[in-house]
């Protein structure tokens, strides 16, 4: 796979200078073990002569390698998509639509569309990260208050919830960012979707936090700015604001979550900066598994995914293993419990769909369980 480190933009464009070279790369991501029909789940297909599509040998469903992904039915060449992904991955500060349009010599509207679609793919990977252990959480505000408007809590700026998990040394691990109100039910929904039930959550003494986090080990008090118990979440809030304001000027509430998704995607993969292009490409291709029913193309929605023996999704073993660890704490007995209902009646070619939003075959799960090949969590 193409890596960011050691490859200039010129060399990258030489590597992916045709739509066909891009399509071959995407094919390997989507169907690493060969074509699998998105409709019937059967293996085996053939390219349709003169078209960039494949036909299933069994049900004759015709599909393309980008069908159902954020690149579906795009009018932009695949080369432009690839070059845009490279530029997005290259600069950890992000790239604006103005910069991208200038670099690729495309219209501003096309550049903006590309970036929004890429951020959508990034956002669909966010559920892979479930925070566990000790977590710092706080609220934050983005945007400019109205003239004479109040600052701080009670402001008319856009509110958000920010949470970061810490490792045993007290250093930040993974981040969650969500545009959200601060009512207790909204905070509770955020926590239930983002935290392991056994997590210890540190917050300030906001009443809605106290109400919403009753089911967690919740430690709250009035913290001073820079205090050790909330130091990392305050640092990250500052970093997010610098990221949003420094690269993307005049950002409104409507698109704020998309920029949060980009920041979180980058932060949660900061130790794999040289692999960010390949991980972004995986996110783009994996988006066909994570689309909502309203967004899904070619009739492939969440209900279909659970029934497909091989959905053809991206096999990103490092991220899959991380998710297993995040959901189970890395304990074998918990892994067994997680997959018990899935393994029943499953054969070697079935994927663990539903329980884990990634493609690990049942055979691979057994290998991870019984050969003790779970690497360290990323």
Query: Tokens in use for 120?
Result: 């959508």
Distance CA 124, CA 285 (A): 11
Which residues does 67 contact at the CB level (< 8 Å), separation at least 6? Answer: 38, 288, 297, 298, 300
**DSSP string for residues in 278-290:** HHHHHHHHHHHHH
Residue 205: burial class (beta carbons within 10 Å; 0-12, 13-18, 19+): exposed
Distance (Å, whole) CA 186 – CA 175: 18
Predicted confidence at residue 93, as pLDDT, reads 85
Cβ neighbour number for residue 292 with a 10 Å cutoff = 9
| End-to-end CA, the chain | 19
The per-residue pLDDT for 84 is 97
pLDDT at 309: 28
Q: What are phi and psi of 43, to 5 degrees?
A: -85, 145
Helix axis angle for 108-123 and 78-90, nearest 10°, is 70
Contacts of 4 (CB under 8 A, 6+ apart): 86, 89, 90, 273, 274, 275, 276, 277
* Paired strand residues for 361: 351
Consecutive 10-residue runs of the chain (378 residues): their mean pLDDT?
62 94 94 88 90 92 92 92 96 90 95 95 88 95 67 75 95 95 96 93 94 92 68 95 77 86 95 90 75 32 29 39 50 51 39 38 46 38
pLDDT (0 to 100) of residue 157: 85
- What is the residue extent of each domain of the chain? 9-124+273-290, 130-254, 315-370
Nearest to 72, CA basis, from 283, 285, 279: 285
Residue 37, CA distances (Å) to 157, 295, 305, 310 in order:
47, 19, 12, 8
Q: Are 133 and 165 in contact (CB under 8 A)?
A: yes
Measured CA to CA, the distance from residue 222 to residue 204 in angstroms comes to: 5
- Residue 42, Cβ density class (10 Å: 0-12 exposed, 13-18 middle, ≥19 buried): middle
CATH class for the region spanning 130-254: alpha beta
Q: Specify the pTM.
A: 0.73
Residue 207: exposure state from Cβ atoms within 10 A (0-12, 13-18, ≥19)? exposed
CA–CA distance, 307 with 293 (Å, rounded to integer): 15
Residues in the chain: 378
Q: Cα separation of 311 and 359, whole Å?
A: 8
Distance, CA of 43 to CA of 60 (rounded, Å): 12
Is residue 160 classed as helix, strand or coil in its secondary structure? strand
Question: Residue 169: what pLDDT?
Answer: 92
pLDDT of residue 80: 97
């Amino acid at each position: 796979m193409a890596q960011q480190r050691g490859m200039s933009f010129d060399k990258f464009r030489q590597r992916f200078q045709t739509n066909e070279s891009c399509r071959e790369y995407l094919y390997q991501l989507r169907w690493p073990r060969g074509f699998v029909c998105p409709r019937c789940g059967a293996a085996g297909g053939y390219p349709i002569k003169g078209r960039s599509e494949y036909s299933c040998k069994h049900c004759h469903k015709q599909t393309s390698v980008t069908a159902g992904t954020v690149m579906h039915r795009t009018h932009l060449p695949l080369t432009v998509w690839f070059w845009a992904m490279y530029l997005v991955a290259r600069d950890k500060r992000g790239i604006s639509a103005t910069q991208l349009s200038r670099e690729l010599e495309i219209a501003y509207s096309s550049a903006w569309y590309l970036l929004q679609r890429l951020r959508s793919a990034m956002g669909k990977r966010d559920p892979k990260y479930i925070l566990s252990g000790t977590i710092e959480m706080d609220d934050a505000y983005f945007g400019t208050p109205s003239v004479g408007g109040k600052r701080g809590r009670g402001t008319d700026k856009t509110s958000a919830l920010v949470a970061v998990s810490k490792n045993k040394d007290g250093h930040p691990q993974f981040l969650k960012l969500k545009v959200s109100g601060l009512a207790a039910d909204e905070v509770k929904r955020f926590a239930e979707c983002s935290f392991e039930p056994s997590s210890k959550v540190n917050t300030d003494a906001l009443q809605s936090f106290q109400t919403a986090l009753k089911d967690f080990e919740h430690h709250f008090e009035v913290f001073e700015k820079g205090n050790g118990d909330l130091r990392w979440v305050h640092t990250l809030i500052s970093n997010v604001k610098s990221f949003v304001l420094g690269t993307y000027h005049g950002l409104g509430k409507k698109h704020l979550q998309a920029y949060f998704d980009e920041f979180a995607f980058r932060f949660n993969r900061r130790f794999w900066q040289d692999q960010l292009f390949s991980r972004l490409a995986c996110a783009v291709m994996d988006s066909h598994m994570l689309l909502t029913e309203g967004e899904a193309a070619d009739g492939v929605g969440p209900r279909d995914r659970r029934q497909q023996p091989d959905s053809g999704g991206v096999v990103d073993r490092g991220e899959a293993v991380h998710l297993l660890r995040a959901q189970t704490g890395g304990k074998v007995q918990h892994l067994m419990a997680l997959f018990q209902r899935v393994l029943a009646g499953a054969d070697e070619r079935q994927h663990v769909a539903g329980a884990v939003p990634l493609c690990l075959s049942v055979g691979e799960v057994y290998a991870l369980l019984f050969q003790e090949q779970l690497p360290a969590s990323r």
